[in-house]
């Protein structure tokens, strides 16, 4: 039997979170954290609503996952995020020791790879999952802002 819980399946859930951010007039980035094919945390950007530059989708999801697990380490967990994490979020992910990061669109300006930020040596990264969908949502958001 084929496993329905693919990276694309979970990235669609992260895209749902990004849509929530879009509707709140936040930069549309969404994140979920999964362990054993179960979503344990969700987050989307809340920087405008909370007036907090650290309220990125990943940070919201990391905090929720740590609370769910009752500890600060996210070993065995996978983060699905619609946009490549920034340097700040990559640093938090490093300290969380998350096992896997899957992201959609690349952030050519502020992404952790562009900035040269290192992740935890045990963290694996998969990029480009539903990248077009994630990038198109960002393009729609900024086109709306320019009007």
Per-residue tens of pLDDT for the chain, all 147 residues: 778 899 999 999 999 999 999 999 999 999 999 999 999 999 999 999 999 999 999 999 999 999 999 999 999 999 999 999 999 999 999 999 999 999 999 999 999 999 999 999 999 999 999 999 999 999 999 999 888
β 77-83/38-44 pair status: unpaired
Please say if 58 is a catalytic residue: yes
Instruction: Tell me if the pTM is above 0.85.
Output: yes
Nearest to 30 by CA among 87, 89, 77, 73: 89
Question: Which pLDDT does position 146 carry in this prediction?
Answer: 87
From the list 78, 82, 70, 61, the residue with the least C-alpha distance to 139 is 82
The 10 Å Cβ neighbour count of residue 134 is 26
Cα angle 79, 84, 86 (rounded to 5 degrees) comes to 100
Q: Are the CB atoms for 98 and 120 separated by under 8 Å?
A: yes
Cβ count within 10 A of residue 67: 12
Candidate list 2, 23, 48, 58, residue with the active-site label? 58
- Residue 124 in tokens: 């694996």
């Amino acid at each position: 039997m084929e496993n329905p819980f693919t990276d694309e399946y979970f990235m669609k859930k992260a895209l749902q979170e990004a849509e929530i951010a879009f509707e709140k007039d936040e930069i549309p980035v969404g994140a979920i954290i999964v362990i054993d094919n179960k979503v344990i945390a969700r987050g989307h950007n809340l920087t405008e609503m909370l007036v907090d530059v650290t309220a990125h989708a990943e940070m919201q999801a990391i905090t929720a996952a740590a609370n769910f697990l009752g500890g600060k380490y996210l070993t065995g967990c996978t983060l699905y995020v619609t946009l490549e994490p920034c340097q700040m979020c990559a640093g938090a992910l490093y300290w969380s020791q998350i096992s896997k990061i899957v992201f959609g669109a690349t952030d050519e300006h502020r992404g952790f790879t562009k900035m040269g930020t290192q992740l935890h040596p045990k963290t694996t990264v998969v990029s480009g999952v539903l990248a077009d969908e994630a990038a198109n949502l960002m393009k729609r958001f900024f086109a709306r802002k320019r009007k």
